[in-house]
A and B are shown apart, each in its own frame.
Chain A
């Protein structure tokens, strides 16, 4: 049991005893896969979903009851873009602390990126991560690298990585510079039916930049990263996907131009999905004011107009997934002058709340859209079995309180890192209970 001062508790699987049966009553069950959005009772037994019904069956004797009055009961949320830093930078985060942060954020599964040290570019590295993830309060699905060592030259062995548990490939952190290599990667991925997750950035255009190139960067005297740097590679990767028939997933979309390309591609039937992150639909480059390094990430915060386009694209379904791009850093790499600061912000413990406060509370997304974008779609894209509350499936459930206000205080996070873009901000809503395979792994009083 790991407690925090503000009433948060994590129960580690395997080491604690968990109730064999749980009744979640009076909650609003939101399960778009099964077409459900109504007040129902959910029963969990022996790690699986036992029933979802208005009446609790006679035979069901729960050892534990959760009163979900006023709350939503959703299939476990999945964050398909996180950096767990292990192996190599356990000072920033470990698989253990990262999965605790995920559980605290309401996630029952995460997909972790391969830009560790060593890079996850072969079977043994994938196995290492999977094995380290046992008895962690969140499922881990590693993403293997596209190229060996992330060097952009030779393809990693997709087959053996998938066999070991990888669910996608990506060179996240950079793009595959050579288009010929990318084409080969896309073609090869088809054999394994995995998506290729694309970090789209023209390294040459972006070189030396620390924030979005715009009015703000000019004012602050900072070299900028033009939005074209992202848009050029988005267009390239989409065209190669269309050409090869492979499946691509565009990571952390941040600009209006990228969305234009994606919308058009989808209309044409290209097999492309995409994700954005909470900071791109809430903040913009003006928020870097005062050289705040907790607003420095890659891709950078763009203009207010880009932000508005992202919001529109979330509402109209162009954006399929919301993921955090959780990027922990130690304070020595953030508490420095802006140029020297590392790119990246954490997000596991604020993602759900930001979506609730800025999208659902403002009726830009309906609750069912939240479940679609943070549970069902990530499951579908990664070929996982979750995202539903179907009877007989493993009980991965997130119970969401959409109303209660709280103030972000990173000192109370389960993550090792403190570099959040939302420090001190007032948010509305959070995960009250995270249930993993029928065990309550997280609760917040």
Chain B
């Protein structure tokens, strides 16, 4: 059993079998993480570069932990302290790192398509940790793993993703991946925070939160970037919270077995009320745990062995 893809650049076009294999493998790594010694020697001697051109503590930490649990050697590169500030091109940065003999690259970049560009610069396997507004596949995979853990299945479940869809690569990857797995996805947000041409994602889009939540098994909230208020994308936090935030009152009207998700970090009291973030239906912390397992699975499936 092997993946058909050689890199993880996104979930668009990734076949169902590949996603299933990653999730199944992630389940076994979840078990490893429960052990007294939560480490396996599989990627011993392999070097993985965490190439983060955008600031991110949590995703990078999650990847680094996954790499260490697989006994690989992580190498961290972040722009603030690097040659990029001296004007080095992406291609040159990659070449210089590769000259130190590395096996895999985990990359986060503000330009959509940067991971795709890197596949032309290096033989190493590339894992996209977020590229511009394009995709964030490992986040969507851990979201699906969490949903599958709670419901025992994916197909047929109804998911509502609510928030700043326009600027969310998480929403995009989830839309692609969940659609492949036969789930029913609705994207919801104020019209100014929805893409102008959403049809290409192939899922339902609405600006009405009640419509999005109707019959939903899973509600996923996205972080509102408060800086965007200044650029005219939404009028006030109060209005946003009222129309698109989730509080206990709205939650109580939904079925009992609904779960609440959020990719983090949370703006408590804005998209998610504090008491909802901490309630029993919230699986936000499970998402974080599963994140390490999913990333271990991706590293394992893409990283082992000599590539022919």
Contacts and interface: CB of A to CB of B under 8 A. Distances in A.
**A–B direct touch, CB within 8 Å, in complex?**
yes
Contacts of A215: 197, 199-200
Contacts of B90: 336-337, 340
B134 A335 contact: no
Given A336-B89, A336-B91, A218 B198 contact: yes
A222 B89 CA distance: 20
A243 interface: no
B254 interface: no
A257 interface: no
A218 B110 contact: no
B172 interface: yes
B263 interface: no
A221 B110 contact: no
A55 interface: no
Interface in A231-285: none
Given A219-B12, A291-B113, A213 B196 contact: yes
Interface in A180-234: 213-224, 226
Contacts of A153: none
A221 B111 CA distance: 9
B191 interface: no
Contacts of B117: 291, 336-338
B90 to A, nearest CB: 6
A290 interface: yes
A220 B89 contact: no
B132 interface: yes
A220 B134 contact: yes
B78 to A, nearest CB: 18
B116 A291 contact: yes
A223 B133 contact: yes
Interface residues of A, number: 22
A221 B197 contact: no
B132 A339 contact: yes
A152 to B, nearest CB: 23
B143 interface: no
A290 B116 contact: yes
A32 B91 CA distance: 52
A218 B113 contact: no
Residue picked from A220, A226, A338, most chain B C-beta under 10 Å:
A220
Given A214-B197, A336-B117, A337-B109, A221 B89 contact: no
Contacts of B110: 339
B269 interface: no
Nearest to A224: B196
Contacts of B169: 221
A440 B206 CA distance: 65
A337 B107 CA distance: 13
A216 B91 CA distance: 25
Contacts of A219: 12, 200-201
A186 to B, nearest CB: 32
B131 interface: yes
A218 B112 contact: no
A252 B198 CA distance: 28
A218 B200 contact: yes
B196 A291 contact: no
Nearest to A220: B112
A332 interface: yes
Contacts of A224: 196
A46 B117 CA distance: 55
A338 B90 CA distance: 11
B196 A226 contact: yes
B197 A213 contact: yes
A218 B199 CA distance: 9
A274 B114 CA distance: 37
A337 B92 CA distance: 12
B135 interface: yes
B112 A291 contact: yes
A223 B12 CA distance: 18
A420 B111 CA distance: 22
B133 A221 contact: yes
Contacts of B111: 337-340
A93 to B, nearest CB: 21
Contacts of B12: 219
B13 to A, nearest CB: 10
A336 B197 CA distance: 27
A126 B114 CA distance: 41
A214 B200 CA distance: 9
Nearest to B169: A221
A271 B27 CA distance: 70
Interface string B108-137: 011111101100000000000001111100
B113 A220 contact: yes
Interface string B178-211: 0000000000000000011111110000000000
A218 B197 CA distance: 7
Given A336-B90, A336-B91, A222 B112 contact: yes
Interface in A332-386: 332, 335-340
Nearest to A340: B111
21 contacts: A214-B197, A216-B200, A218-B198, A219-B12, A220-B113, A221-B134, A222-B133, A291-B112, A291-B116, A332-B89, A335-B91, A336-B91, A336-B117, A337-B117, A338-B111, A338-B112, A338-B117, A339-B110, A339-B114, A339-B132, A340-B90
Given A218-B201, A221-B135, A337-B90, 10 more contacts: A218-B195, A221-B131, A221-B133, A221-B134, A221-B172, A223-B133, A291-B113, A336-B117, A338-B113, A339-B110
Interface of B: 12, 89-91, 109-114, 116-117, 131-135, 169, 172, 195-201
